[in-house]
Structure 1
Amino acid sequence: MDTLGGAEFAPTSTYLNTSACGLLPRRTVEAVKRLAEELADGRPEGAGSFASVEAVRASFARLTGVSAERVAVGGSVAVHVALIAASLPSGAEVVAPEGEFSSVVTPFAVRGDLKVRYVPLDGIAAAVRPGTALVALSAVQSADGRIADLAAVRAAAAAHGARVLLDASQAAGWLPLDAGAYDYTVTAAFKYLLCPRGASFLTVTEDAQESLVPAHAGWFAAEDLEGSSYGPVEEFARTARRYDEPPVFLAYHGAEQSLALLEEIGVGTVHAHNTALAARFRAGLTELGHAPVTGDSGIVAVPGLGGRQPELTRAGILVSARAGNLRASFHLYNTVADVDRALDALSD
């Protein structure tokens, strides 16, 4: 099985660590270098292009099945989540999985006046009850790659009038996703979306936008950008752009190229590629006597094997150790040879 990225990637290691950070395509690197050089030269283009930001917004919208009007740009999942946390009334109940990634739950926990209830991932739908205000979870768990039963969560939330916040950071780019099915989604773009750090996305349904205050808004969130540079913004954008953070232009110039590549290849194609490699790795691990977490995820975790991560790194095989697990994550630049190389190293 060949890579899907062609000449866009040339890693010098066996890189199975996209869940930590994705590799940058060559075209992305060139876009970042070009902007940096323009700024170093004092050329007008060096300040960054709003057109690139809007191209990224539109591209992410297409990749996740929503209109660009529902997408806000930013630089951090934690900031997006904090905005949502700030909108909840005192005493509101938030349900989240045990062991959820800290950026998804900490903004709720630090408020001190919310009821944050943690339950096992496979029981999260059943845990939603009358009075639950929000369910906050990742589509794919960072620690072990498990994919949540998202249909069940949506159904339970709808039955009890709760909203759903979905973190798609470990999913967007390889797992087909309909962001419009959730009140909010948040996504760090430096993993499977292959963007430079500094790009992230928030999607907000039109209904959820009614109760979400643009608490960190600056002039970039105004309906009239040219006329909103001084004094308080008088009219916010009528779209989710009202929740924009001022963009990190170097990241967004690169993101424009990365998302274009993913659109060219197609998320469905990437999903088939990644899950096939992961299935091969699971089967090989089982033959070696290890017991990986079961499922159809493109992320493979082996409980209790995290201690072998340093030796794999020394062998040029990059994986992660998370919560005691050895975690390997596959993406479009990986091949069958990468899988077999990792299995050979673990057979010693």
Structure 2
Amino acid sequence: MDPTQTPSLAHTPLQELVAAEFGSGAGDVAGARPGGGVRYLNTASQGLLPARSAEVLRSAVSEMTAGTLDMVRCFEQIDAARASFAALAGVAAEQVAVGTSVAVHVGLVAASLPPGSRVLTVEGDFASVVNPFTVRDDLRVRTVPPAELADAVTADTDLVAVSAVQSADGRITDLDGLRAAARAHGCRTLVDATQAAGWLPLDLGRFDYAVCGAYKWLLCPRGTSFLVVTDESGPLLPLHAGWVAGESPWQMCYGPVPRLAPGARRYDEPVPFLPYLAAAESLRLLAGIGVDRVAAHNTALADRFRTAASKAGLAVVSGDSAIVSLPGLGEEGRARAARAEVAVSVRAGDLRAAFHLYNTEADADALLRALTA
């Protein structure tokens, strides 16, 4: 099959897909325990790797050991991952660069800003979105509460950098309001889709730049990250342009690269093969299932848990996110969950649960029992 083609899985029951990819117990009404382990409600930290992706890794390691790994095919799979992410993000593959981390991609944008540029961010956003700008002492960085972001955009703003979904508590940014404000005042936008892509339908082509770490909701290994550069974006300096960023890499791998690739590929990092071989499979799986379908599943579970937790007297951050934050529980709540074999995380001192396609109502109920016992 053409590596850029994604077969539709829309008519395959989600429970059947989950059982095949995450273990025979996953998706069972008695409880989702992917791989026979804990009830996993921690995708906001790290997504689970599908079986098809793990198998590709095992095969590639064997080929590396035997000296039979096909480098040309590896690059084809990197481009397949690029194309699948582009489809999920609502952009053309030519607008997507591959890399290894959000910090590197945001750093590329930050390094390309002229001295004196004014950057607007939100309080408590993930450090990789903010820090590349603050380490430059010749930029003016202003921070506002998330709810005030759109109103804080003025004619003096050169760039707004924000996460589509906040890592700490799952709050969803008003991207429509942000885009309207940015257009009205002529400023550029950078959106981090790391906690959104894979479960929240997105059109990242509306923004100048978008970044996404793929190891969470996109179910890829760490070391996979994407940068979207749209036609409206200002010029970026291809600071890490190696031979893979050339117009014809195999013919331009010695000496200075005479011509960079015409699209976003000029911003490619020379990425590691293994994470991207697995990423190509994970992204095909998600593209075949459909983000709308995943969104409906995830948010229904999160809403169910949010409602039940509130009725039980627990403080819960409101919203429609697949991430649920419970203020005040923190490490004590995580310890209770761990004793019940439920994996969650603590961020900014609060308990954080994340619901993805391999979770069930039984998982949500198990966490609630652990926190209210």
Category of TM-score, reference length = shorter chain: over 0.9
Alpha-carbon separation, structure 2, partners of 1:5 and 1:179: 27
2:205 to 157, 173, 180: 180
Alpha-carbon separation, structure 2, partners of 1:2 and 1:256: 20
Alpha-carbon separation, structure 2, partners of 1:165 and 1:221: 22
Q: In the alignment, what sits opposite 1:270? A: 294
**Cα deviations by residue, 1:134-167 (Å, 9 ceiling, x for unpaired):** 0000000000000011111111111111111000
Q: In the alignment, what sits opposite 1:217? A: 241
Deviation at 1:262, TM superposition (A): 0.4
Deviation at 1:221, TM superposition (A): 0.3
SS of residue paired to 1:95: strand
Q: In the alignment, what sits opposite 1:333? A: 358
Q: 1:281 to 1:44 in 2, by over 3 A?
A: closer
Question: What amino acid sits opposite 1:54 in the alignment?
Answer: D
Contact 2:330 2:346 (C-alpha < 8 Å) held by counterparts: yes
SS of residue paired to 1:104: helix
Q: In the alignment, what sits opposite 1:34? A: 59
Deviation at 1:311, TM superposition (A): 2.7
Deviation at 1:229, TM superposition (A): 1.0
Q: In the alignment, what sits opposite 2:307? A: 283
Question: What amino acid sits opposite 2:175 in the alignment?
Answer: L
Deviation at 1:314, TM superposition (A): 2.9
Question: What amino acid sits opposite 1:198 in the alignment?
Answer: G
Q: 1:2 to 1:253 in 2, by over 3 A?
A: closer
1:259 to 283, 286, 305: 283
Question: What amino acid sits opposite 2:322 in the alignment?
Answer: G
Alpha-carbon separation, structure 1, partners of 2:201 and 2:217: 12
Q: In the alignment, what sits opposite 1:5? A: 18
After TM superposition, list the pairs within 5 Å mapping 1:159-178 onto structure 2.
159-178=184-203
Alpha-carbon separation, structure 2, partners of 1:172 and 1:250: 21
Q: 1:297 to 1:140 in 2, by over 3 A?
A: same
Question: What amino acid sits opposite 2:166 in the alignment?
Answer: Q
Question: What amino acid sits opposite 2:370 in the alignment?
Answer: A
Question: What amino acid sits opposite 1:105 in the alignment?
Answer: V
Deviation at 1:46, TM superposition (A): 6.6
Alpha-carbon separation, structure 2, partners of 1:314 and 1:279: 24
Contact 1:39 1:47 (C-alpha < 8 Å) held by counterparts: no
| 3-12 vs 74-83, which moves further | 3-12
SS of residue paired to 1:27: helix
Deviation at 1:106, TM superposition (A): 0.4
Q: Name stretches of at least 5 consecutive residues in structure 2 with no aligned partner.
A: 1-12, 24-33
Contact 2:336 2:371 (C-alpha < 8 Å) held by counterparts: no
Contact 2:54 2:278 (C-alpha < 8 Å) held by counterparts: yes
Q: In the alignment, what sits opposite 1:306? A: 330
Q: In the alignment, what sits opposite 1:198? A: 223
Q: 1:163 to 1:207 in 2, by over 3 A?
A: same
Deviation at 1:5, TM superposition (A): 2.2
After TM superposition, list the pairs within 5 Å mapping 1:117-136 onto structure 2.
117-136=142-161
Deviation at 1:315, TM superposition (A): 2.1
Q: Percent identity?
A: 56
Q: 1:253 to 1:325 in 2, by over 3 A?
A: same
SS of residue paired to 1:136: strand
Alpha-carbon separation, structure 2, partners of 1:214 and 1:47: 24
Deviation at 1:207, TM superposition (A): 2.6
TM-score, normalization: structure 2? 0.91
Deviation at 1:2, TM superposition (A): 6.6
Deviation at 1:44, TM superposition (A): 4.0
Alpha-carbon separation, structure 2, partners of 1:2 and 1:225: 40
Contact 2:340 2:366 (C-alpha < 8 Å) held by counterparts: no
2:267 to 231, 240, 243: 243
Alpha-carbon separation, structure 1, partners of 2:104 and 2:238: 12
Alpha-carbon separation, structure 2, partners of 1:47 and 1:205: 28
Correspondence 1:293 to 2:317: yes
**Cα deviations by residue, 1:76-96 (Å, 9 ceiling, x for unpaired):** 000000000001111111100
Contact 2:160 2:189 (C-alpha < 8 Å) held by counterparts: yes
Q: Name stretches of at least 5 consecutive residues in structure 1 with no aligned partner.
A: none
Deviation at 1:179, TM superposition (A): 1.0
Q: In the alignment, what sits opposite 2:77? A: 52
Q: In the alignment, what sits opposite 2:30? A: none
Q: In the alignment, what sits opposite 1:77? A: 102
Deviation at 1:47, TM superposition (A): 8.0
TM-score, normalization: structure 1? 0.97
Tell me which stretches of 4 or more aligned residues in structure 1 moved more than 2 Å. Answer: 1-6, 44-48
Q: In the alignment, what sits opposite 1:113? A: 138
**Cα deviations by residue, 1:253-311 (Å, 9 ceiling, x for unpaired):** 10011011101110000000000000011011112101200011110001111121123
